């Protein structure tokens, strides 16, 4: 059985959860969690590190866990994990997904009532058996019933794009309150994580009670699940949870920082603070022996917080405990790309295939957006459902693009195609016709369930063809709808480097493909990327921001993204 880093990481994090439920040492739990996190963020395969014999050089992996990993490779498991598994029901970890149930309560439910999965938990709550347990009561039982129902309805995390559509009007409503001096979206949405579990808002005000009252009165609030003097949690229509914290303006930076996370970033920062005789809370950075009422060392802005720890400001997108604190320490943080750095969009559709607007309409909208060039890349003939272009229609399309260029200034409209990579890796249009175009994006749109070797060979054939500039949405995933197809990303990156083909970060709200880790991997290998919307309408150019979010999470600087360059400079990279 072939195991990847995520498989190893999952075994370790499950082990952490099982130790916790069985009442083991908290710090041992944290050790397994830390090791799991290290593996899940590792840019190379853990097995290659095993082969090199340097496992214990990884942060959070000592002798013991290194042995466990070696055992996992050989047998698929390790002793501690097997022992814990044997002592507890198979599905007990599902119980911790219920909001309000942590390890202690799960353990009590199992010990006292033999509850080992969600169905048994639901039945016990319904029968009233839970309310009688020590430490549990009627309210806890009701909450469990409600949370199980909610879990069954919505499951896990929502796409960022959807969450932001809900969060934007809320933050604007908060800002519009006379009592509010500042309000921001925090949490994983501010870090541009591709999915979010809930929404976090922070606000500065001298009258928190008024802000809370307005928050719970927002349209679409289904339920108030917690309400204290500084913190309120609500459930919005659509089952999304939203939390709001309010502090005074001079504490706002500390609060924003605290609520932006990630949790792991904070754990590392707080360790660093302790080593300097400081401690960090949502109210600021304090001397470790500070008494109540002592003023903070820093609290007003996020930059002040970092400065108090002798660090430069770290952008939210980097706060994932993925090496950013070390990089900050070395003053080696990337100068992250921004939306304004992009000069053009290399992937879009018009009414010639499955888009909603004409070449002219797209060009005018792109110019208004601020682009200086775009490439029109309609579908090729095999994508019949998308009205793909055959050679004759493509030739007419090229003439139509010339006509638009003659008609408007301020933007160059380039001729391109999104050519299908067919089942066997051949391209969907004749080579000589492709070579007449300014820019060729090759994408997989069919037979997506090929096995890893077949799919990798298929896309590599397109990369090696000599007629392609970029690979579009390289893993084919649709967020929440379709898994990525199985392809060897590392092999793809190497082939692209050799043949001077760029990989796309497709900014389409439903795609975000490549994803952040893969984009970072490509850039680390020296391969530049392109960020495109793949928009099918004139309103879609703004989605580029989502692609920039992915790029920033991938630590990309402008120089690593080709469409930050003027057209001719960009094309120079492809010269072969």
Mark 295-334 with x for binding to DNA (rule: CB under 7 A) and - for no binding.
Answer: ----------------------------------------
Q: What is the distance between the alpha carbons of residues 514 and 82, in angstroms, rounded to a whole number?
A: 36
Q: Is 145 in the site for DNA (CB under 7 A)?
A: no
When asked if residue 30 is in the footprint of DNA (CB under 7 A), the reply is yes
The residue range among 119-127, 268-276, 302-310, 556-564 that interacts with DNA, by the rule CB under 7 A, is 268-276
Question: Which one of 8, 34, 194, 357 is in contact with DNA (CB under 7 A)?
Answer: 34
Positions 342 through 381 that interact with DNA (CB under 7 A): none
What is the nearest approach in angstroms of DNA to the Cβ of residue 102?
A: 2
Measured distance CA(441)–CA(420) in Å, rounded: 9
Shortest Å, Cβ 539 to DNA? 33
Bridge-based pairing of strands 241-247 and 231-236 is antiparallel
**Is residue 150 a contact residue for DNA (CB under 7 A)?**
no
Long-range pairs for 65-74 at CB < 8 Å and ≥24 separation? 65/12, 65/31, 65/32, 65/35, 68/12, 69/8, 72/3, 72/8, 72/11, 73/3, 73/47
Using the rule CB under 7 A, is 136 a contact of DNA?
A: yes
Our CB check for DNA shows the closer of 20 and 428 to be 20
Selection from 158, 146, 228 nearest residue 198 by Cα:
158
184 binds DNA (CB under 7 A): no
Contact between 115 and DNA per CB under 7 A: no
Position 279 contacts DNA (CB under 7 A): yes
Q: Does 138 bind DNA (CB under 7 A)?
A: yes
Per residue, what are the HEC states of 232-274? Answer: EEEEECCCCEEEEEEECHHHHHHHHHHHHCCHHHHHHHHHHHH
Cα dihedral 398, 402, 407, 411, rounded to 10, equals: 90
C-beta of 185: minimal distance to DNA in Å? 13
Diameter of the chain measured on Cα atoms: 80
Please choose, out of 40-48, 101-109, 486-494, 561-569, the segment that lies near DNA by the rule CB under 7 A: 101-109
CA–CA dist 160, 240 (Å, integer):
12
CB 192, CB 219: distance < 8 Å: no
DSSP string covering 198-209: SEEEEEEES-HH
Sign of CA dihedral 149, 155, 161, 167: positive
Contact 379, 386 (CB under 8 A): yes
Which of 244, 267, 271 is CA-nearest to residue 187?
244
**How many residues interact with DNA (rule CB under 7 A)?**
69
Task: Indicate which single residue of 54, 76, 91, 102 sits in contact with DNA (rule: CB under 7 A).
Answer: 102
Can residue 27 be called a binding residue for DNA (CB under 7 A)? yes
CA angle 567, 570, 572 (to 5 degrees): 110
Binding residue (CB under 7 A) for DNA from 37, 190, 193, 266 = 266
- Three-state DSSP at 192 gives coil
Cβ 207 to DNA shortest distance, Å: 15
Binding segment for DNA (CB under 7 A), chosen from 270-278, 338-346, 435-443, 523-531, is: 270-278
Confirm or reject binding of residue 174 to DNA (CB under 7 A). Answer: no
Stretch that binds DNA, among 132-140, 396-404, 451-459, 476-484 (CB under 7 A): 132-140
Is the Cβ of residue 191 or residue 458 nearer to DNA in the bound state? 191
Q: Please report how close the Cβ of residue 98 comes to DNA at its closest, in angstroms.
A: 7
- x/- site string to DNA, residues 44 to 83, per CB under 7 A? ------------x-xxxxxxxxx-------------x---
Distance CA 44, CA 66 (A): 16
Binding region for DNA (CB under 7 A): 25, 27-28, 30-32, 34-35, 56, 58-66, 80, 96, 98-106, 131, 134-141, 143, 187, 197-198, 200, 226-232, 241, 243, 259, 261, 263, 266-267, 270-271, 273-275, 277, 279-283, 288
């Amino acid at each position: 059985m072939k195991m990847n880093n995520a498989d190893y990481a999952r075994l370790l994090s499950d082990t952490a959860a099982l130790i916790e439920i069985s009442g083991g040492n908290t710090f041992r739990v944290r050790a397994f969690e830390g090791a799991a996190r290290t593996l899940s963020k590792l840019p190379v395969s853990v097995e290659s590190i095993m082969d090199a014999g340097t496992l214990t050089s990884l942060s959070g992996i000592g002798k013991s866990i290194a042995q466990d990993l070696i055992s996992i490779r050989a047998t698929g498991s390790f002793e501690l994990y097997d022992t814990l598994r044997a002592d507890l029901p198979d599905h007990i970890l599902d119980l911790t997904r219920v909001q309000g149930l942590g390890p202690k309560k799960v353990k009590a439910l199992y010990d006292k009532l033999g509850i080992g999965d969600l169905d048994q938990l639901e039945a016990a709550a319904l029968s009233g058996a839970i309310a009688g347990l020590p430490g549990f009561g009627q309210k806890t039982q009701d909450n469990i019933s409600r949370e199980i129902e909610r879990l069954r309805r919505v499951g896990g995390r929502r796409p960022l794009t959807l969450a932001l559509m809900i969060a934007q009007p809320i933050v604007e409503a908060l800002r519009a309150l006379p009592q509010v001096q500042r309000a921001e979206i925090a949490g994983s949405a501010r870090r541009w994580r591709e999915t979010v579990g809930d929404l976090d808002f922070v606000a500065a005000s001298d009258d928190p009670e008024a802000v809370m009252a307005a928050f719970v009165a927002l349209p679409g609030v289904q339920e108030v699940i917690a309400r204290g003097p500084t913190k309120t949690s609500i459930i919005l229509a659509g089952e999304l949870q939203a939390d709001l914290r309010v502090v005074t303006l001079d504490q706002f930076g500390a609060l924003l920082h605290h609520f932006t996370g990630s949790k792991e970033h904070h754990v590392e920062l707080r360790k660093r603070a302790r080593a300097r005789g400081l401690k960090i809370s949502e109210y600021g950075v304090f001397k470790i022996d500070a008494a109540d009422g002592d003023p903070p060392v820093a609290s007003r802005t996020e930059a002040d917080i970092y400065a108090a720890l002798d660090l430069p400001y770290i952008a939210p997108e980097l706060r994932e405990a993925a090496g950013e604190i070390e990089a900050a320490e070395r003053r080696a943080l990337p100068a992250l790309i921004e939306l304004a750095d992009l000069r053009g969009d290399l992937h879009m559709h018009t009414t010639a295939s499955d888009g909603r607007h004409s070449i002219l309409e797209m060009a005018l909208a792109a110019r208004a957006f601020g682009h200086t060039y775009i490439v029109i890349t309609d579908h090729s003939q095999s994508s019949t459902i998308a009205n793909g272009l055959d050679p004759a229609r493509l030739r007419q399309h090229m003439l139509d693009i010339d006509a638009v260029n003659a008609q408007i200034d301020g933007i160059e409209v380039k001729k391109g195609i999104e050519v299908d990579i067919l089942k066997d890796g051949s391209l969907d249009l004749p080579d000589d016709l492709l070579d007449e175009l300014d820019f060729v994006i090759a994408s997989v749109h069919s037979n997506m369930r090929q096995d890893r070797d077949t799919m990798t060979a298929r896309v590599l054939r397109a990369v090696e063809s000599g007629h392609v500039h970029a690979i579009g949405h390289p893993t084919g995933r649709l967020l929440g709808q379709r898994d990525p197809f199985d392809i060897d990303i590392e092999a793809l990156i190497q082939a692209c480097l050799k043949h001077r083909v760029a990989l796309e970060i497709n900014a389409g709200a439903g795609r975000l493909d490549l994803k952040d880790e893969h984009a970072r991997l490509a850039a680390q290998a020296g391969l530049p990327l392109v960020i495109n919307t793949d928009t099918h309408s004139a309103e879609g150019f703004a989605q580029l921001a989502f692609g920039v979010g992915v790029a920033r999470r991938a630590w990309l600087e402008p120089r690593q993204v080709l469409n930050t360059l003027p057209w001719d400079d960009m094309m120079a990279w492809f010269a072969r």
